[in-house]
Amino acid sequence: MFDLSGKVALVTGATGSIGNAIARTLHKMGATLAVSGTRLDNLEHLARDLSTRVHLFACNLSSVGAVEELVPNIERVCQKVDILVNNAGITRDSLIPRMLDEAWNDVMMVNLEAPFRLMRAVSRSMIKERWGRIVNISSIVGAVGNPGQANYAATKSGLFGLSKSVAQELARRNITVNCIAPGFIESPMVEQIPAAHREHLEKSIPTGRVGTPEEVAAAVAFLCTKEASYITGHVLHVNGGMAMI
């Protein structure tokens, strides 16, 4: 049960706290990893820690050319991609009257267009294999919005619709497509929140605390298993109950 031995998993944004936890969890379950990110030193540190079944692919997802080359590069090394976790994401926050086109376009490219292109690329071989798992990391912000993050919220909400549409297209080929919508998760960004504001924030979360990257990773890992084959087109909220409010 919950064994991913023999599967190849591509995890984007593996240099961040959530992506790192996802990669480590999938590896622990037996998967061979193809990890991508922009900080090569962090990827190398991850590879040294895991030592085996890890392949590094530096990739700047803001470049269409780099995104289009990523899956073919992985397939040349690993022969296939069974699991895709679109985890990478960026923010370029600004109130809408002052939001620059560049801030809008950058976030759209990394958070929504890159996942679309990677989903398109891996779907071809998944269809031939009649097996695949795609998990897109969205956000609670995609469900409720957030001032100053119109661009980010649009991309994360867009992942909901993209995932549901592709899930319907691929369901009969034993390929599932789902979303994870994390809430506030321990990360360098959350650690910078002033203590008073963090206390107020935690009180607003039904569980009374922020989550951990490992809790997000556990949800992702389950959706990647054969045991989750009857779950597709779903948005799983991992946010301590904030989606109820």
Rounded to a whole number of angstroms, the CA Rg of the chain reads 17
> Could you say which of 152, 166, 236, 239 is catalytic?
152
| CA 134/CA 209 separation, integer angstroms | 29
Question: What is residue 12's three-state secondary structure?
Answer: coil
What one-character-per-residue DSSP string does 130-175 give?
T-EEEEEE--THHHH--TTBHHHHHHHHHHHHHHHHHHHHHGGGTE
CA 54 to CA 8: how far, in whole Å? 10
CA 242/CA 184 separation, integer angstroms: 9
Distance from C-alpha of 95 to C-alpha of 175, rounded to nearest angstrom: 39
Look up 230 and say whether it is catalytic: no
CB 46 within 8 A of CB 23: yes
Instruction: Give catalytic residues, as residue numbers.
Output: 152
